[in-house]
Structure 1
Amino acid sequence: MSVPVTHASFSLERRLNAPPSRVFAAFADHASKKKWFGGPPEWYQGESSLDFREGGRETDVGGPVGSWVSTMHAIYHDIVENERIVYSYEMLLDGRRMSVSLSTVELEPDGGGTLLTLTEQGAFFTGSPESDGAQVAGRKEGTGELLDALQKYVDGN
């Protein structure tokens, strides 16, 4: 019997005190992205690569030392400089696919800053509606934490 799938979507917004060009660069430049995208400093940081172009790929591997390993593989589908990034990605936990998502990051000028809107549409595979619901909530929370880290990075804090 196959594992059931749960479909879910969410959107998150952040008002950033940096222009869209700085926010876009934080996604586009690998060295910059590594400063805000990832787990806590005490986590194991494995393979990390970024080919930021339409058709390009990204990989990030890491997790708590001595525990589980999270792997993210992304493909970039649409990039409009300083305005929009659309990518799909799969998340694996210890090599087992947990989800596949389509994400859109939109950047709009907001005074001297940027209004960032991230929308994610996902298919989650964990085996039960209860565990999928927890995974969706965890993904939204984790994505929010990444956007908080992005905000600190681009705001210069």
Structure 2
Amino acid sequence: MTERFVKHATFIVEKTYAAAPTRVFRAWSDPGAKAKWFSKPDGFEFRVGGREFSRGGPPEGPVFTFDAVYQEIVPEERIVYSYTLDADTTRISVSITTVEFVPVSGGTKLIFTEQGAFFDGHDTPEIREHGTNEMLDALGRSLEEESA
């Protein structure tokens, strides 16, 4: 019998970008801009109640499915979404994420807060936080390339 358990966790990642909140927000809200640093969405409806859906992963597998619903959008200030993450056919987590865009001298401070339920050891908060740091670093590179 498979042991079933849930690990609950919250983590916060903060990054500062040399770009105005308008540009950083656009990197999240425009599907073409987002595809430059996040997986290309198979579906993208950026509105409260709208969904974002994407599938992908390494050639050797597994296929990860990200399925999000936007809960709140305050342009250039915050985005709140809930999402599930599956590896192949196994649900590995359910999370709520808040992304805040804070104007600072010379750019934007992004505050990414994730509150998650991680299932049966298929994923961990530590792995997710590491992946989030890599994702937000990719966002930074995308913003830098856009400025060049």
What TM-score does the superposition give when structure 2 sets the normalisation length? 0.92
Q: Find 2:77's aligned residue among 72, 83, 92.
A: 83
The amino acid of 1:53's aligned partner reads R
Query: What pairs up with 1:2-151 in 2 under 5 angstroms?
Result: 3-38=4-39, 48-126=42-120, 131=121, 135-151=124-140
What percentage of aligned pairs have identical amino acids?
A: 46
Secondary structure, aligned partner of 1:35: coil
Q: How many equivalent residue pairs?
A: 145
Q: Which runs of 4+ in 1 moved over 2 A?
A: none
CA contact (8 A) 1:30 1:49 kept: no
* Alignment root-mean-square deviation, CA: 1.7
Unaligned runs of 5+ in 2: none
- Cα distance in 1 for partners of 2:3, 2:83 equals 21
Secondary structure, aligned partner of 2:62: coil
Unaligned runs of 5+ in 1: 39-44
Question: What is the CA deviation profile of residues 35-84 of structure 1, one whole-angstrom value per residue up to 9, with x for unaligned ones?
Answer: 0013xxxxxx7x62210000000011001113211000000000000000
- Cα distance in 2 for partners of 1:113, 1:95 equals 41
Deviation at 1:2, TM superposition (A): 7.5
